[in-house]
A and B are shown apart, each in its own frame.
Chain A
Amino acid sequence: NAGVTQTPKFQVLKTGQSMTLQCAQDMNHNSMYWYRQDPGMGLRLIYYSASEGTTDKGEVPNGYNVSRLNKREFSLRLESAAPSQTSVYFCATGTARYDNQPQHFGDGTRLSIL
């Protein structure tokens, strides 16, 4: 049981390049999330998807786009990478609202923009 799988684990990009971070889950969870983690700032929500076919902006959505391809997959795209987007990106999943259950996280993607 893989849980939440993120690819790639590491990536180095040049400013202006584009890339897509992939997230797949086998937990049958409805909700999926993308966070970024920067030193001293905890996890900040970029986008989330409450269910297949819906996406919503989080706290720091600028410079990112997302696609909820199906129930299992939620991708995050950087169209034109900037050094400020150097961060560790985590994908997470959750069941439903008001159910007292924690979120489940992938191992993260460490992204450096030069």
Chain B
Amino acid sequence: ILNVEQSPQSLHVQEGDSTNFTCSFPSSNFYALHWYRWETAKSPEALFVMTLNGDEKKKGRISATLNTKEGYSYLYIKGSQPEDSATYLCAFDTGRRALTFGSGTRLQVQP
């Protein structure tokens, strides 16, 4: 069983704060690292798929970086808004298409 860990488990921030969280994954058999955003009572929605060491991806106020050699990825949210409140999941991909998910970081943004 692959070990994919996310920290922190939960986070409460004020509207306008910038925040970041971490996904740690095995540094061997790496093919890709996926980030998903999951709102309560909805389906997980893909944010990024990252494959190259040093890769940086951006979508609006959300960005992510990838370090495959040390086995971690950071997700950043700039100027958090209440609509950013969700659980953010990362998933480790060996290329065999069965993803291994972390337990998620639950973000609450207070107006």
Interface residues of A (CB under 8 A from B): 4, 31, 33, 35, 40-45, 48, 50, 56, 58-59, 90, 94, 96-98, 100-108
B21 cross-chain contacts in A, Cβ below 8 A: none
Chain B residues lying within 8 Å of A44, measured Cβ to Cβ, are 101
CA distance A41 to B95 in the complex (A): 22
For the complex, what is the distance from the CA of A100 to the CA of B46, rounded to whole Å?
12
In the complex, which residues 85-99 of chain B have their Cβ closer than 8 Å to any Cβ of chain A? 89, 91, 95-99
The contact of A103 among B9, B42, B46, B51, by CB within 8 Å, is B46
Q: Given contacts A100-B49, A107-B43, are A45 and B95 in contact (CB under 8 A)?
A: no
Instruction: Provide the bound-state CA to CA distance between A104 and B42, in Å.
Output: 12
Residues of chain B whose beta carbon lies under 8 Å from any beta carbon of chain A: 1, 4, 6, 9, 31-32, 34, 36, 41-46, 49, 51, 89, 91, 95-104
Residue in A40, A103, A107 whose beta carbon sits within 8 Å of that of B99 in the complex: A103
Task: Please report whether the interface of chain A is mostly helix, strand, loop or mixed according to DSSP.
Answer: loop
Q: How far is the CB of B2 from chain A (nearest CB, A)?
A: 9
Q: CB-CB < 8 A to A100: which residues of B? A: 32, 49, 51
25 contacts between A and B (CB under 8 A): A33-B99, A35-B101, A41-B103, A42-B6, A42-B103, A43-B89, A43-B91, A43-B99, A56-B98, A58-B98, A59-B1, A90-B43, A96-B97, A97-B97, A98-B31, A98-B95, A100-B49, A101-B49, A102-B34, A102-B36, A103-B34, A103-B46, A105-B43, A105-B44, A105-B45
Chain A residues within 8 Å of B4, by CB: 42
Least distance between B6 CB and chain A CB atoms (Å): 8
CB distance from A60 to the nearest CB of B (A): 10
B34 to A45, Cβ gap below 8 A?
Answer: no
Q: A42-B102, A97-B97 are in contact. Are A90 and B44 (CB under 8 A)?
A: yes
